[in-house]
Amino acid sequence: MSVQGRLRTSNAVALKQCALSGMGVIMQAHWVVGRELRDGTLIDLFPDHEVTGAAFESPAMWLILPTRAYLPLKVRVFVDFLRQKFGGTPPWDADSSG
């Protein structure tokens, strides 16, 4: 889908402020607008459409390994650390009501 608009910026905060001011529709990562989505200030127009790091410039971490046949222990420990530290539900998507 090609979209034309009056404003173009790569600043996430500026885009959010434009949406909050009623200037139009934005495509933004949940970590930027998560609070506003939860409190209803902004709504998700396409809840069934997920924007991924490959489709949209968002904070993403990729770990590329040469093979799975043999993985040195220090690499396995590092991978496990990254999964523990950054895996799971990101804090901006976590339910903060409980």
pLDDT, position 8: 77
At 9-59, the pLDDT tens digits run 888 899 999 999 988 888 888 888 989 999 999 999 888 877 665 555 555
- Taking residues 57-66, what's their average pLDDT? 66
Number of compact structural domains in the chain: 1
In a domain, 70, yes or no: yes
In a domain, 94, yes or no: no
pTM above 0.75, yes or no: no
In a domain, 3, yes or no: no
3-state secondary structure the chain: CCCCCCCCCCCHHHHHHHHHCCCCCCCCCHHHHHHHHHHCCCCCCCCCCCCCCCCCCCCCCCCCCCCCCCCCHHHHHHHHHHHHHHCCCCCCCCCCCC
Could you list the residue range(s) of the whole structural domain that residue 67 is in?
Answer: 12-86
Torsion of CA 36, 40, 42, 43, to 10 degrees: 130
Among 44, 29, 34, 45, which residue's Cα sits nearest to residue 94?
34
